[in-house]
Amino acid sequence: MTSLILLPGLAGDGEMWRDQLPALAAWRPQVSDVHMRYPSIPEMAAALLARHPGRLALCGVSMGGMLAMEAVRQAPARIAGLALLGTTARPEDDETRRVREKAIALFAQGRVAEVIEPNATFAFHPRHARDAALMRRYVDFVLRAGAQQLVRQNRAVIARPDARPHLPAVRCPTLVMCGEDDQLTPVDRSREIAALVPGARLVTVPDCGHMLTMEQPTVVNGELARWLERVAAP
């Protein structure tokens, strides 16, 4: 039997998947926490593969997508399907690295709320950024992760490998999704992934920023259901 593993984004936990868990219940999804336990994307992927034997359908958001792409590089025969949401296959660019390094310095000083709260709106479409309850959900799980995790996970993202060279060898059903207004991983990053993976399905979601699972859960759930049908097909 194929196990469905949900891979949160940076600082994320099961709250990122709150609206997906009931919709995917037939697959008994498990939310991974390897990103909280290991210092690099390759180590996270190796631990994920060791913890979950057998065939895996991996659904990753943002950093979770980076982790999924590394897992399929390490064990291509074990990955039955990939769903890559709001992510990028590229290594870190210099400009983004500088921004992360400044944030890391503040996190290391314990100034997490000072960084996260005024910048949270960049992760959302402007319409959803006006939803106080939704924004509170997001800020709360990031603050819950804490300074140490934010430092370590940002460093893991900075050092991530370039996934593009191995994507043309992927042969499992692959869904690539991105919010049309994603400011953190723009649509061109998803188009690039979909162009590299043979047979990949690309879906761009209107009125949506980076946080697809929280902003447009109905659309996401429908696309994941269609993807899982392909994963389950002979």
* DSSP string for residues in 145-174: HHHHHHHHHHHHHHT----GGGGGG--S-E
Residue pair 54/123 in contact by the 8 Å Cβ criterion: no
pLDDT (mean) for 68-84: 98
pLDDT at residue 197, as a whole number: 98
Please tell me the distance from the alpha carbon of residue 171 to that of residue 125, in angstroms, as a whole number: 33
pLDDT at 112 over 90: yes
Rg for the chain (alpha carbons), in Å?
16
> What distance in Å separates the CA atoms of residue 18 and residue 192, rounded to the nearest whole number?
29
- β-partners of residue 60 are 7, 84
**According to the model, what pLDDT value does residue 122 have?**
96
Position 44 pLDDT exceeds 90: yes
Where does the pLDDT of residue 82 fall: very low under 50, low under 70, confident under 90, or very high at 90 and above?
A: very high
Work out the number of other CB atoms within 10 angstroms of the CB of residue 218: 9
* CA distance linking residue 6 with residue 64, whole number of Å: 8
CA distance 131 to 112: 22
Q: Which is the CATH superfamily of the domain at 3-91+162-232?
A: Alpha/Beta hydrolase fold, catalytic domain (3.40.50.1820)
**Sign of the alpha-carbon torsion through 30, 53, 8, 144:** positive
pLDDT band of 16, cuts 50, 70, 90: very high
pLDDT digits (tens, 9 = 90+) for 113-135: 999 999 999 999 999 999 999 99
Span 176-187, average pLDDT: 98
Which spans in the chain are helix H?
41-51, 63-74, 94-108, 112-119, 126-129, 132-158, 187-196, 212-215, 217-232
Q: Average the pLDDT over 192-200 and give the result.
A: 98
As a whole number, mean pLDDT of residues 152-162 equals 98
Mean pLDDT taken over the chain: 97
pLDDT of residue 55: 98
C-alpha distances in angstroms, 88 versus 50, 77, 100, 234? 24, 22, 16, 29
Tell me if the pTM is above 0.95: yes
pLDDT at 234: 79
Query: Tokens representing 111?
Result: 């100034």
Mean pLDDT across 89-103: 97
